[in-house]
Structure 1
Amino acid sequence: MSTSATTDIQHPAKKLKMDESRKLIGTHNGTFHCDEALAVFLLKRTNVYANADLTRTRDPAILDTCTVVVDVGGVYDESRQRFDHHQRGFTEVFGHGFNTKLSSAGLVYKHFGKEIIASRLHVSVDDPKVETLWLKLYQEFIEAIDAIDNGISQYPTDLQPRYRLRTDVSARVGYLNPAWNEPFNSATLDSRFLQASSLVGEEFFGRLDYYANAWLPARDLVAEGLKKRTEVDSSGKIVIFEKFVPWKEHLFDLEADLSIPAESKPLYILYPDESGNNWRIQAVPVSPESFESRKALPEAWRGVRDDELVKMTGIEGGIFVHASGFIGGNKTQQGALDMAKLALTL
């Protein structure tokens, strides 16, 4: 953790002598996991617990003195600030379409995530982007930690994986625990826990910063392009971006959010290539990962280039059309637009 966010672990004997007004975060001692490492990191980024101390113990008497307890204690009760998920009958999920049982990381994120995101972005918690990022970060970062900690398989268990994947953040946190032949004492474990909390926490903030500063602005540009698509062509099936933007994921999400009917969904996306000198016309795929297009560029154009393409289409500036018809190029925006409009009719 950074110097300003250092967590001082308070051991039970020391804790009993503390000022009762001092906030104290409690979690279990011994071997640690990614979920409580992240839960503690997140709590330390809230207004209430920013200056809290940390104790790692399973002693119920000590845990009872803690202001907030995560991943131990057998109780989930937000009003009491108790966030465990191991007790019989626990079934809490994030909601909003997510059905994975929460770990301590998910529980803390569910209740404090919006505050943490708003603080990081220096905006009000009511800012619409906070809700969007809160859901996105759960989907892309937190849910997998919840699932791994709860032993939920990503795929049906009768499938044999072709290779092992042990580089995920939960695995990297796990490797910070002392090996079987290393000293296994409380001082070593507490020190390693702080390393683990810093590792997963900084990765969380790195992901949040990316989604806030790159992913969300791209979403805004795609939304603007969708809004203006009928100005490009009355059919609404052609979208123009004045600069390249990662658009596929956002396009499908926004189509769902806006309830755009199938017959009105865009078929072609226009944008300048990486050089900025030429333009691309790309057919929208049937899904973000699919190689099949909603309406590929005309079969007769596929694999044709330059003067032959100009002659075939009657549109100046033609550069190429890919052999599969998923993308083509023209020297100008107008040329690419003319190609898209013609392709709609063929």
Structure 2
Amino acid sequence: MSSVVDAIAQPLLKRQKTDNGPATKIIGTHNGTFHCDEALAVFLLRQTAAYGGAALKRSRDPKVLDTCDIVVDVGGVYDEGLQRFDHHQRGFEEVFGHGFTTKLSSAGLVYKHFGREIIASRMGTDVKDEKVDTLWLKLYREFIEALDGIDNGVSQYPTDIQAKYRNRTDLSSRVGWLNPAWNESVDSASVDARFEKASKLTGEEFLGRLDYYGKAWLPARDIVARALGERLNVDSSGQILLFTEFAPWKEHLFELEAQQAMPEESKPVYVVYPDETAGNWRIQAVPVSPESFESRKALPEPWRGFRDDELSKVSGIEGGIFVHASGFIGGNQTREGALALARKALQM
């Protein structure tokens, strides 16, 4: 390993000493058939201060790669100091950490080292902002890890499970389709142009997902966190959350409960929030897990399936709109009415 690293370091040091003034940085990756991981890795590097606007060289020739400032997905070396980020070499077992165990591809490697900077720059905040770390982990879990797994041949499910259908619409597959067909005659310049198209495709999806998480998912998390912090002001039990505006809340609630090591007996049971339409209010039972149809405490059975005046009569609370037949959700015309339903349901 050390001999390989030394062989790489010498050309790099020589080039650094002979450079005169600022020059366009060069990103290196392999030529030939391209994949989603290096296409995204190149795009991500171009979002950084060091490699913004960098040129690209696609080659497997070590002499060509030695002229590059950074090399991804080729070369057989992972060394941050040398700016070499390959994952194909024997003995490479690098993972993202933080509970993730999927072996990294070049996309994961570049994201692990440069992701925080890219997120902070896109969000217009400091890289030390705790929200940057939240988004960094979220994007790895929801976007990057799958690319790492696919590129490294890591099965998503146990191999004894037979899929009922094939899915070839994922990002890695769409990048694959941009390669020339096996019997299509194209020159290297045309393949390089297709690679740039693939890199743009992966980057647009990455930035779109980052923008959503930063501008929609994260603000929803703030709303849930604030409601958790103020829940004792809503009801002394602490089991009712009140949102002053609607926001997707399930995923955030379960994650925040886990982070705070919240005891089962003090976890919220009902969530009260304004309906997205008509100015009414909703009460929803918290499920036992984000995807579950079973509730921690469903709304009382005597209320289920009733609407309007009948619901007001059986519940004893004016302004009733409905309670679902399964008891997982209900509605009232006012915030006070929805809160009254929640408080009464806790006692039943």
**TM-score clears 0.5:** yes
1:257 to 239, 256, 259: 259
Unaligned runs of 5+ residues in structure 2 are 1-14
Give the number of aligned pairs. 330
| More displaced 10-residue stretch of structure 1: 92-101 or 300-309 | 300-309
Give identity over the alignment, percent. 72
What SS does structure 1 have at the residue aligned with 2:56?
A: strand
What SS does structure 1 have at the residue aligned with 2:271?
A: strand
Residue 3 of structure 2 corresponds to none
Following the alignment from structure 1 to structure 2, what is the Cα–Cα distance between the partners of residues 301 and 244?
24
Residue 27 of structure 2 corresponds to 25
Q: Offset at 1:299? A: 1.1
Following the alignment from structure 1 to structure 2, what is the Cα–Cα distance between the partners of residues 179 and 200?
20
What SS does structure 2 have at the residue aligned with 1:80?
A: coil
1:60 counterpart = 2:34: no
Unaligned runs of 5+ residues in structure 1 are 1-14
1:232 to 231, 234, 242: 234
Following the alignment from structure 1 to structure 2, what is the Cα–Cα distance between the partners of residues 81 and 135?
23
Q: How big is each residue's C-alpha offset from its partner over 1:31-63, in whole Å with a ceiling of 9 and x where there is no partner?
A: 000000000001111111113221000001111
What SS does structure 2 have at the residue aligned with 1:271?
A: strand
Q: How big is each residue's C-alpha offset from its partner over 1:9-44, in whole Å with a ceiling of 9 and x where there is no partner?
A: xxxxxx9xx967542211000000000000000111
Moved over 3 A (4+): 18-22
**In the TM superposition, what are the counterparts of 1:80-99 in structure 2 within 5 Å?**
80-99=82-101
1:129 to 119, 128, 131: 131
1:291 to 293, 312, 332: 293
TM, length-normalised to structure 1: 0.93
**In the TM superposition, what are the counterparts of 1:326-337 in structure 2 within 5 Å?**
326-337=328-339
Residue 112 of structure 1 corresponds to 114
What SS does structure 2 have at the residue aligned with 1:328?
A: strand
Q: How big is each residue's C-alpha offset from its partner over 1:129-176, in whole Å with a ceiling of 9 and x where there is no partner?
A: 111111111011100000000011111111111111111111111100
TM, length-normalised to structure 2: 0.93
**In the TM superposition, what are the counterparts of 1:144-155 in structure 2 within 5 Å?**
144-155=146-157
**In the TM superposition, what are the counterparts of 1:1-12 in structure 2 within 5 Å?**
none
Q: Which amino acid aligns with 1:95?
A: G
Residue 78 of structure 1 corresponds to 80
Residue 308 of structure 2 corresponds to 306
Q: Which amino acid aligns with 1:52?
A: A
Residue 318 of structure 1 corresponds to 320
1:42 counterpart = 2:38: no
Residue 196 of structure 1 corresponds to 198
Residue 183 of structure 1 corresponds to 185
Q: Which amino acid aligns with 2:345?
A: A
Following the alignment from structure 2 to structure 1, what is the Cα–Cα distance between the partners of residues 219 and 139?
15
Following the alignment from structure 2 to structure 1, what is the Cα–Cα distance between the partners of residues 335 and 227?
15
Q: Which amino acid aligns with 2:226?
A: E
TM-align CA RMSD: 1.4
1:214 counterpart = 2:216: yes
